[in-house]
A and B are shown apart, each in its own frame.
Chain A
Amino acid sequence: MSWCCCNSVCTSSSRQLLATSDLSSIPSRVSNVGLKQKRSLCGVPKVFAYYGLKTPPYKLDALEPYMSQKMLEVHWGEHHCGYVEALNKQLEKNDMLYGCTMDELIKVTYNNGNPLPEFGVAAQVWNHDFFWESMKPGGGDMPKLGLLQLIEKDFGSFTNFKEKFIEAALTLFGSGWIWLVLNREEKRLAIIKTSNAVNPLVWNDIPLIGLDLWEHAYYLDYKVTHSSSFLLSAKRFFLMCLSLFPLFSQNDKANYVNVFMNHLVSWDVALGRMARAQAFVNLGEPKIPVA
């Protein structure tokens, strides 16, 4: 998961910046990279680079009509941005956490289940980056190649996996996330639900897909509409007609989760993540054909 953060230390004599990590390694999609200068107590300038808000790998209207532009503007532009700003503010006060990668920051602040104050915001920054990248315009459909084989091996069939994923999503109470992960120890895929900001990195598992189930993720787009209500305003009626949702179910969360699976999830990205995961997890001997 790419991030931008660099640690710089000045020598008191030269007052020059010695960057401990190369600024050119910052991915080009990162915006809002800020370099701020602060005077330390002895007057030597210290430079801190802060985390930036990454843009999703598609335009904000690219997921319409399944996830509206308005939804993304609020979810990414306010929630996700808010988490990034809050994280930067907290890190400003805590020197000990500088120099960590985002993954390290999450594990360290998770503190084996007694999370430090920075954990919530740090994890939510990561989670949302992961979430945007878990979706794509024209998503859904089915996974392919090795990922499909692994899903079929560990869940019986893709249909069965999909049912279990949706069931997990619908039985999560409160705010949280649903993940498809590669369990490192058991070397198999698993569906995991987590509360609030927790993510599978804290257990050293490798996430392949993440779905945001905080209410803010679907509230603007997927509110229920009672068919018996006479209150439909003209605007809402118009939006209903525009909507291409196949089912107008009474359950907004179910609608959102189904749409995610059918139209948004990026199996390409999941496949890439799984390929990378195989560098760390031995999923078995390769099949060498016998001549």
Chain B
Amino acid sequence: MAATASANSLTSTFLPRQGVYGSSHQSIQLRTQKFARKAGSGTITAKFELQPPPYPMDALEPHMSSRTFEFHWGKHHRAYVDNLNKQINGTELDGKTLEDLILVTYNKGAPLPAFNNAAQAWNHQFFWESMKPNGGGEPSGELLELINRDFGSYDTFVKEFKAAAATQFGSGWAWLAYKPEEKKLAVVKTPNAENPLVLGYTPLLTIDVWEHAYYLDFQNRRPDYISIFMEKLVSWEAVSSRLKAATA
């Protein structure tokens, strides 16, 4: 497997990638796929790569510690990607984009074995890109207009989002998503590895509420983690550009 630069040195500063905030979920597939030619056999296998977050691991301190990143990205996310590659290698799922893989393996609610790893690989990348150093604040522009239109006010949206994240029992995620058919925003909570892609929605923002996401920093104080996420970590630029891509 082609080594990612950051694989072994967990403290390296990650170079900010171009166009991260300008990406819709479509372009994630391009970054996570890498084709490697096996020596001698002439076979092309597609392997997903673990991409680093678009900021150094200590960039979100003190709100999300570098220690959390060490485990959350360096172990959990890495394991999902590695295990996914193992599961699809040599099967008919090999060569698909990550989004296609998620939809195919979701299998309309009767998920195939690769679904969990595929979805979690996607979810985590989406999550890192939903945050930024000196994040938080409030959205603006078209995003704020839509939030006001569909939730009444920004504060109401925040309340609903926080409640969804706090009441997702067990492991899961909370999302702000765009429903393309109704052309409306919605707050959605999903268990375990599920995400709004399988519902036909376009995800705009997510927070990971698996315990591993906040345990080192907050132990069982999930509401505090959620508040800090909203106040200090959310990247409204990322959300806005995702919305732009979704409504284009």
* A and B part of one assembly: yes
- Report Cα–Cα, A147/B220, bound state, in Å: 36
Are the C-beta atoms of B10 and A79 separated by less than 8 Å?
no
B171 within 8 A of A: yes
Give chain A interface residues in 156-182, CB to chain B under 8 Å.
Answer: 173-176
Query: 0/1 per residue, B43-87, Cβ < 8 Å to A?
Result: 000000000000000000000000000110011000000000000
Residues of chain A within 8 A of B220, CB atoms compared: 74, 78-79, 82, 216
Expressed in whole angstroms, the minimum distance between the Cβ of A69 and any Cβ of chain B is: 15
Looking at A14-22, A134-142, A227-235, the stretch in contact with chain B turns out to be: A227-235
Contact B193 A215 (CB under 8 A): no
Task: Give A122 Cβ to nearest chain B Cβ, in Å.
Answer: 12
Say what secondary structure dominates the interface of chain A: loop
* Assembled-state Cα–Cα distance A193/B219 (Å): 25
Q: Please, how many angstroms separate the alpha-carbon atoms of A174 and B220 in the complex?
A: 16
Query: Contact: A175 with B71, CB < 8 Å?
Result: no
A240 to chain B, nearest CB (A): 15
How would residues 200 to 231 of chain A score, 1 for a CB under 8 Å from any chain B CB and 0 otherwise? Answer: 00000000000000111001100110101111
A278 at the interface (CB under 8 A from B): no
Pairwise interchain contact B211-A214, C-beta atoms closer than 8 A: yes
Shortest Cβ gap from A237 to chain B (Å): 14
Cα distance, A219 to B210, chains bound together (Å): 12
Q: Could you say which residues of chain A place their CB within 8 Å of the CB of B212?
A: 215, 219
| A226 x B215 contact (CB < 8 A) | no
Q: Is the CB of A223 within 8 A of B71?
A: yes
> B170 in the interface, Cβ–Cβ < 8 Å?
yes
Enumerate chain B residues within 8 angstroms of A231, measured Cβ to Cβ: 10-11, 70
- The answer to whether B216 has its CB under 8 Å from any CB of chain A is yes
A120 close to chain B: CB less than 8 A: yes
From B8, B71, B170, B191, give the contact of A224 (CB < 8 A): B71
Indicate the size class of the contact surface on chain A.
Answer: 20 to 34
B192, CB-defined interface residue at 8 Å: yes
Give the bracket for the number of chain B residues in contact with chain A.
Answer: 20 to 34
Contacts of B9 in A (CB 8 A): 230
A215 to B170, CA, bound (A): 9
Question: Which of these, B75, B192, B219, contacts A173 with CB under 8 Å?
Answer: B192
Chain B residues with Cβ below 8 Å from A228 are 8
B170 near A220 with CB under 8 A, answer: no
User: Are A219 and B211 in contact, with the CB atoms below 8 A?
Assistant: yes
Among B70, B71, B171, contact of A174 (Cβ-Cβ < 8 Å): B171
Residue A196 interfacial (CB < 8 Å)? yes
Question: In the complex the two chains form, is B170's CB within 8 Å of A176's CB?
Answer: yes
Q: Any chain B CB within 8 A of the CB of A195?
A: yes
Residues of A near B172 (CB, < 8 A) are 174
Partner of B192, one of A78, A174, A229: A174
Cβ of B169 within 8 Å of any chain A Cβ, yes or no, is yes
| B84-138 with Cβ < 8 A to chain A | 116
Chain A contacts of B211 at CB under 8 A?
175, 214-216, 219
Q: Kindly list chain A residues whose C-beta atoms are within 8 Å of the C-beta of B8.
A: 228
CB of A225, distance to nearest CB on chain B (Å): 10
In the complex, the answer to whether A215 meets B215 with C-beta atoms within 8 Å is yes
The reply to whether A229 and B169 form a contact with Cβ atoms under 8 Å apart is no
A220 to B220, CA, bound (A): 11
A216 to B216, CA, bound (A): 10
Check if B74 sits within 8 Å of A226, measured CB to CB. Answer: yes
CB <8 Å contact, A195 and B170 = yes
Taking a contact as CB atoms under 8 Å apart, the answer to whether B215 and A216 are in contact is yes
Measured between beta carbons, the chain A residues less than 8 angstroms from B11 are 230-231
The one of A197, A224, A230 in contact with B169, judged by C-beta atoms closer than 8 angstroms, is: A197
- Answer whether A78 and B170 are a contact pair too, CB < 8 Å, given A215-B210, A228-B8: no
Q: Are B215 and A196 in contact (CB under 8 A)?
A: no
A174 touches B170 (CB 8 A): yes
Residues of B within 8 A of A216 (CB): 211, 215, 219-220
> Contact between B191 and A174 (Cβ–Cβ < 8 Å)?
yes
Contact of B193 among A82, A173, A196, A226 (CB under 8 A): A173
Q: What is the minimal beta-carbon distance from A167 to any residue of chain B, in angstroms?
A: 15
CA distance A219 to B220 in the complex (A): 11
Q: How far is the CA of A176 from the CA of B210 in the complex (A)?
A: 12
Closest Cβ–Cβ distance, residue A224 to chain B (whole Å): 5
Contact A120 B70 (CB under 8 A): no
Q: Which of chain A's residues have a CB closer than 8 A to the CB of B210?
A: 174, 215
Residues from chain A with a CB closer than 8 A to the CB of B71 are 223-224
- Contact across chains for B216 and A196 when beta carbons are under 8 A apart: no
Given A78-B220, A224-B71, A226-B10, does the pair A173, B116 have CB atoms closer than 8 Å? yes
16 contacting pairs across A/B (C-beta < 8 A): A78-B219, A120-B169, A173-B192, A174-B171, A174-B172, A174-B193, A175-B171, A197-B170, A215-B171, A215-B215, A219-B211, A219-B216, A224-B71, A226-B10, A230-B9, A231-B70
**4 nearest A-B residue pairs (beta carbon):** A215-B211, A175-B170, A196-B170, A174-B192
